[in-house]
Amino acid sequence: MRGIVKRFGDLVANDGVDFTLASGTIHALLGENGAGKTTLMRILYGLALPDAGEILVDGRRVEIRSPSDAIAAGIGMVTQHFSLVAPMTVAENVALGDEGGFRLDRRGARAKVVKASERVGIAVRPDARVATLSVGEQQRVEIVKALSRDCRVLILDEPTAVLVPQQVEALFNALRRLRDQGLAVVFISHKLREVTAISDEVTVLRRGRVEGTVTTRTTDERELGRMMVGRPMTGVARDDERVPGEVVLRVERLSVADGSALPAVRDISLEVRSGEILGVAGVSGNGQTELVEVLSGMRVPSAGTVVVGNVDVTGQPPARVTAAGVGRIPEDRHASVVRDLSVAYNLVLEDLDAYRRGPVLDEGRIRRTAHDLIDRFDIRAGPADLVGTLSGGNVQKVLLARVLARRPKLLVVAQPTQGLDVGATEYVRGQLLAQRGAGAAVLLVSEELEELLALADRLAVMYEGTIVGEFDRAEVDVDRLGLLMAGIRAGG
């Protein structure tokens, strides 16, 4: 790809990008969110058209104006959101889009699945219905679908986002096998550890431009992080000598009904102590969201109790839960701010009564508080800026500032770095460890296993609404953790 330019209004997503991919290599495309990685690969696969630049395959210029053009050029792509038809079989999905009139060649499609499965070295059942497959299995089907069309370039966009550790390792083994057969793989990611584990080369994009291309074996995570954010990465430090204090959160036999036959949360008991982070691991949709909603007063449990300090907050509304000393960093950060209000008003939104002078709000005091919090939490905005104009990282800082300014005794945090760039992720994780160091109890729900292993003192694994395993930090077995996340307990 030479001189690729792509604009969206005033935003330049790709600004004269050059990208070279060689056969028999796994080439990582690394960068912060909004750096232009996915846009560049959507152009290569024909899902977006460049405003300038050219694409060459085997030294010859090609016009790629649609996915069919890309497939004809030997390029396949597996996007973050799979494009499979759930009621159909694997073979039928592979056959979709093939030329051949109105008849579906099921026998030929089955043969393609078998051949591609053997090539990638993973078992895929041709006659299985997609609706019955796990997320990891569906991803394999997407890869098999691309390989069945004789692709020589395979693009994978954030492929590990929905996988447990065993599935990640299986994917990496498959990619290495394909590389050894001469396939060229583009691995789009923002996870430094995975990039260094799987890639041969890394191209780093920053603000739509190529920051540099390096050979993986000659660099390290810290240098790649510096290239991504334009400054040295310091990492987050934790004090492992700290001894947790008294119990701050006690949950006993908690259940949450959600209208289905199986409760979203079933008979959960747990404790979190002062100066401790309890991490909750699990694949999305196993009751973590409902647990957080109950703990923060957004949902009423069907059974069980929730006690914060010495206060029973079971079924209490959010205002009373907050008054008991609970701070909430929600999963959907944008739903917790008012986009059309200023940064200043969003910072005091949950405590407006404290800023009243009779019937009117004390605008000067609100502005002074905003200036103080903007400085303390490094929010890259002014008090009068609308929150809707801020980046995801700065919106998260607004939420952190609003919650932490109250010095909560319990912090309930869900997916705090989801969708954030490396710099913002480092900042948020540092703030959580600072709260732990200041004596707060932290319950952290995250789908990022790397995040949980870096921050948590203890880990609990949720599967189908129950806690199926608990680990102390020093005793974590990642393989065992992955099996529990997939619902596989001891003895199968």
pLDDT at position 234, please?
60
**From the CB of residue 27, how many other CB atoms can be counted at a distance below 10 Å?**
21
Q: What is the pLDDT of residues 470-485, one digit of tens each?
A: 999 888 888 888 888 8
d(CA 460, CA 233): 29
491 domain-assigned: no
| Consecutive H or E run containing 345 | helix 343-347
Q: Are residues 98 and 16 in the same domain?
A: yes
In a domain, 35, yes or no: yes
Residue 209 lies in a domain: yes
Query: Do both 138 and 179 map to the same domain?
Result: yes
Strands (E), 274-373: 276-281, 303-308, 311-312, 326-329, 356-357, 360-361
DSSP tag of 324:
T
Query: The domain containing residue 265 runs over which residues?
Result: 247-485
Residue 432: how many other CB atoms lie within 10 Å: 25
Does residue 154 share a domain with residue 182?
A: yes
Same domain, 10 and 127: yes
Q: Give 264's contacts (C-beta < 8 A, 6+ positions apart).
A: 256, 257, 258, 287, 289, 290, 465
CATH of the domain at 75: 3.40.50.300
325 in the same domain as 206: no
End-to-end, the C-alpha distance of the chain in Å comes to 48
Residue 133 is assigned to a structural domain of this protein: yes
Q: What is the total count of domains within the chain?
A: 2
Region 342-371 average pLDDT: 91
Domain boundary pick from 229, 264, 281: 229
Q: Are both 157 and 287 inside the same structural domain?
A: no
Residue 236 in domain = no
Least confident window among 200-209, 245-254, 386-395: 386-395
> Each residue of 295-320: pLDDT tens digit?
999 999 999 999 999 999 999 999 99
- Residues 189 and 259 reside in one and the same domain: no
**Same-domain status, 262 and 129:** no
Q: Which residues does 184 contact at the CB level (< 8 Å), separation at least 6?
A: 21, 22, 23, 24, 25, 27, 152, 153, 154
pLDDT grade for 492, boundaries at 50, 70 and 90: very low
In a domain? residue 490: no
Q: 208 exposed, middle or buried (CB, 10 Å; 0-12, 13-18, 19+)? A: buried
Tokens 């990685």 — which residue? 37
Query: Alpha-carbon distance 382 to 469, whole Å?
Result: 45
Same-domain check for residues 216 and 125: yes
Query: Number of helices and strands (H, E) in the chain?
Result: 16, 22
What beta strand segments (E) does 216-297 contain? 247-256, 265-273, 276-281
* Helix spans in 2-125 (H): 37-44, 67-72, 90-95, 106-120
CB 304 within 8 A of CB 255: yes
Q: Are residues 218 and 261 both part of a single domain?
A: no
Domain match, 313 and 216 both: no
Residues 33 and 202: their CA atoms lie apart, in Å, by 16
Does residue 242 form part of some domain?
no
Identify whether the C-beta of residue 158 lies closer than 8 Å to the C-beta of residue 188. Answer: yes
Of 198, 229, 260, which residue is a domain's last?
A: 229
One domain for residues 298 and 422: yes
Domain end position, chosen among 229, 262, 285:
229
> Residue 124 domain-assigned?
yes
Q: Is 241 exposed, middle or buried (0-12, 13-18, 19+ CB in 10 A)?
A: exposed
- The pLDDT of residue 100 is 53
Q: What is the pLDDT of residues 209-263, one digit of tens each?
A: 999 999 999 998 888 888 887 766 566 667 777 789 999 999 999 999 876 667 8
